[in-house]
Amino acid sequence: MQPEEPPAAAQSLQLARRDSDGWCWLLKRPCALTPRQCGLAFVVACAMSLLVALSFWVAGIGWVLPFAVLELSALAVALLWYGRHALDRELLVLQGGRLCLECEQGGHIERREWPAVWVRVESPAQGERWLELRAGAERFWVGRWATPAQRQQLAHELRWALAHAAR
Protein backbone atom coordinates (compact mmCIF):
# COMPACT_ATOMS: atom_id res chain seq x y z
CA MET A 1 0.00 0.00 0.00
CA GLN A 2 1.43 3.38 -1.03
CA PRO A 3 1.67 6.07 1.67
CA GLU A 4 -0.86 8.83 1.36
CA GLU A 5 0.54 11.84 -0.51
CA PRO A 6 0.89 14.90 1.71
CA PRO A 7 -1.64 17.67 1.14
CA ALA A 8 -0.69 20.87 -0.71
CA ALA A 9 0.25 22.60 2.56
CA ALA A 10 2.94 19.98 3.08
CA GLN A 11 4.59 20.70 -0.25
CA SER A 12 6.61 23.43 1.49
CA LEU A 13 8.28 20.84 3.70
CA GLN A 14 11.99 21.10 2.93
CA LEU A 15 13.69 19.31 5.79
CA ALA A 16 11.21 16.47 6.32
CA ARG A 17 11.42 13.14 4.58
CA ARG A 18 8.33 10.97 4.19
CA ASP A 19 8.78 7.29 4.99
CA SER A 20 6.34 4.38 5.00
CA ASP A 21 4.10 5.63 7.82
CA GLY A 22 5.49 8.88 9.11
CA TRP A 23 7.81 11.82 8.81
CA CYS A 24 11.52 11.98 9.51
CA TRP A 25 13.92 14.90 10.08
CA LEU A 26 17.67 14.27 10.14
CA LEU A 27 19.93 17.08 11.32
CA LYS A 28 23.65 16.35 11.08
CA ARG A 29 26.81 18.16 12.09
CA PRO A 30 28.29 19.83 9.01
CA CYS A 31 31.63 18.04 8.61
CA ALA A 32 33.88 18.17 5.58
CA LEU A 33 35.65 14.86 6.29
CA THR A 34 34.40 11.46 7.35
CA PRO A 35 36.37 9.72 10.13
CA ARG A 36 38.04 7.51 7.52
CA GLN A 37 39.10 10.51 5.42
CA CYS A 38 40.32 12.17 8.61
CA GLY A 39 42.53 9.16 9.37
CA LEU A 40 43.93 9.18 5.85
CA ALA A 41 44.73 12.91 6.12
CA PHE A 42 46.54 12.21 9.39
CA VAL A 43 48.66 9.45 7.82
CA VAL A 44 49.63 11.76 4.96
CA ALA A 45 50.47 14.60 7.37
CA CYS A 46 52.56 12.23 9.49
CA ALA A 47 54.46 10.93 6.49
CA MET A 48 55.22 14.43 5.18
CA SER A 49 56.19 15.88 8.57
CA LEU A 50 58.35 12.93 9.56
CA LEU A 51 60.04 12.91 6.15
CA VAL A 52 61.04 16.56 6.61
CA ALA A 53 62.09 16.01 10.25
CA LEU A 54 64.15 12.94 9.36
CA SER A 55 65.90 14.78 6.54
CA PHE A 56 66.89 17.48 9.07
CA TRP A 57 68.06 14.78 11.48
CA VAL A 58 70.22 13.20 8.76
CA ALA A 59 71.67 16.66 8.05
CA GLY A 60 72.70 16.90 11.71
CA ILE A 61 69.87 19.06 13.00
CA GLY A 62 68.29 16.56 15.37
CA TRP A 63 66.16 18.94 17.45
CA VAL A 64 63.58 19.23 14.62
CA LEU A 65 62.38 15.64 15.12
CA PRO A 66 61.01 16.10 18.70
CA PHE A 67 59.08 19.18 17.57
CA ALA A 68 57.64 17.24 14.64
CA VAL A 69 56.52 14.48 17.04
CA LEU A 70 54.98 17.09 19.35
CA GLU A 71 53.16 18.69 16.41
CA LEU A 72 51.83 15.33 15.22
CA SER A 73 50.69 14.45 18.74
CA ALA A 74 48.65 17.66 18.93
CA LEU A 75 47.24 16.97 15.47
CA ALA A 76 46.31 13.41 16.54
CA VAL A 77 44.37 14.71 19.56
CA ALA A 78 42.51 17.27 17.41
CA LEU A 79 41.66 14.72 14.73
CA LEU A 80 40.50 12.15 17.28
CA TRP A 81 38.08 14.70 18.72
CA TYR A 82 36.94 15.68 15.21
CA GLY A 83 36.47 12.05 14.16
CA ARG A 84 34.52 11.23 17.30
CA HIS A 85 32.04 14.02 16.63
CA ALA A 86 31.91 13.91 12.81
CA LEU A 87 28.88 11.61 12.86
CA ASP A 88 26.89 13.55 15.51
CA ARG A 89 23.23 13.91 14.55
CA GLU A 90 19.69 14.52 15.69
CA LEU A 91 16.93 12.36 14.28
CA LEU A 92 13.25 13.13 14.80
CA VAL A 93 10.70 10.55 13.68
CA LEU A 94 6.96 11.16 13.83
CA GLN A 95 5.26 7.82 13.35
CA GLY A 96 2.17 6.14 14.71
CA GLY A 97 1.15 9.16 16.78
CA ARG A 98 4.50 9.28 18.60
CA LEU A 99 7.49 11.58 18.25
CA CYS A 100 10.86 9.91 18.75
CA LEU A 101 14.02 11.98 19.24
CA GLU A 102 17.39 10.30 18.90
CA CYS A 103 20.53 12.35 19.56
CA GLU A 104 23.98 10.96 18.87
CA GLN A 105 26.92 12.90 20.21
CA GLY A 106 30.43 11.52 20.39
CA GLY A 107 29.21 7.96 19.92
CA HIS A 108 26.70 8.24 22.80
CA ILE A 109 23.07 7.82 21.71
CA GLU A 110 20.18 9.22 23.73
CA ARG A 111 16.65 8.28 22.71
CA ARG A 112 13.37 9.76 23.93
CA GLU A 113 9.81 9.18 22.83
CA TRP A 114 6.54 10.99 23.52
CA PRO A 115 2.94 10.91 22.30
CA ALA A 116 2.70 13.48 19.50
CA VAL A 117 -0.27 15.22 21.12
CA TRP A 118 1.91 16.11 24.12
CA VAL A 119 4.61 17.85 22.09
CA ARG A 120 4.62 21.64 21.67
CA VAL A 121 7.08 23.49 19.44
CA GLU A 122 8.51 26.79 20.72
CA SER A 123 9.94 29.01 17.99
CA PRO A 124 13.58 29.86 18.51
CA ALA A 125 14.20 33.41 19.67
CA GLN A 126 16.43 35.62 17.55
CA GLY A 127 19.98 34.25 17.75
CA GLU A 128 19.00 31.08 19.65
CA ARG A 129 21.01 27.98 18.79
CA TRP A 130 18.19 25.60 19.66
CA LEU A 131 14.59 24.87 18.87
CA GLU A 132 12.71 24.06 22.07
CA LEU A 133 10.21 21.22 22.16
CA ARG A 134 8.04 20.55 25.20
CA ALA A 135 6.23 17.40 26.20
CA GLY A 136 4.32 17.92 29.42
CA ALA A 137 6.79 19.24 32.00
CA GLU A 138 9.76 17.95 30.02
CA ARG A 139 11.78 20.20 27.70
CA PHE A 140 14.19 19.17 25.03
CA TRP A 141 16.16 21.06 22.43
CA VAL A 142 16.98 20.24 18.81
CA GLY A 143 18.59 21.98 15.86
CA ARG A 144 22.07 22.42 17.26
CA TRP A 145 23.70 22.20 13.83
CA ALA A 146 20.98 23.90 11.81
CA THR A 147 21.15 27.46 10.58
CA PRO A 148 18.66 29.97 12.04
CA ALA A 149 16.57 29.73 8.85
CA GLN A 150 16.59 25.93 9.06
CA ARG A 151 15.49 26.07 12.71
CA GLN A 152 12.54 28.29 11.73
CA GLN A 153 11.71 25.88 8.89
CA LEU A 154 11.98 22.91 11.25
CA ALA A 155 9.62 24.61 13.71
CA HIS A 156 7.10 25.21 10.91
CA GLU A 157 7.33 21.63 9.64
CA LEU A 158 7.11 20.05 13.08
CA ARG A 159 4.04 22.12 13.97
CA TRP A 160 2.36 21.08 10.74
CA ALA A 161 3.25 17.40 11.15
CA LEU A 162 2.26 17.29 14.84
CA ALA A 163 -1.09 18.93 14.06
CA HIS A 164 -1.75 16.34 11.34
CA ALA A 165 -0.56 13.44 13.49
CA ALA A 166 -3.24 14.27 16.05
CA ARG A 167 -5.96 13.66 13.45
SS3 17: strand
What is residue 100's predicted lDDT score, i.e. its pLDDT? 93
**Do 94 and 102 meet the contact criterion of CB atoms below 8 Å apart?**
no
What is residue 167's predicted lDDT score, i.e. its pLDDT? 63
User: Taking Cα atoms as reference points, which of 92, 105, 104, 99 lies closest to residue 118?
Assistant: 99
Domains of the chain, with CATH numbers? 13-23+89-165 (2.30.29), 35-85 (no CATH)
Q: How far is CA 66 from CA 6, 52, 54, 120, 161, in A?
A: 62, 12, 10, 57, 58
Percent of the chain's residues with pLDDT above 70? 90
Percent of the chain's residues with pLDDT above 90? 43
Q: What is the pLDDT of residues 11-63, one digit of tens each?
A: 567 887 887 778 899 998 888 888 888 889 999 999 999 999 999 999 999 89
pTM over 0.85: no
What is residue 12's predicted lDDT score, i.e. its pLDDT? 67
Q: Which long-range contacts (CB under 8 A, 24 or more apart) does 12-18 make?
A: 12/156, 13/157, 13/160, 13/161, 14/153, 14/157, 15/150, 15/153, 15/154, 15/157, 16/157, 16/161
DSSP 14: S
Per the model's pLDDT, the better-predicted residue between 123 and 88 turns out to be 88
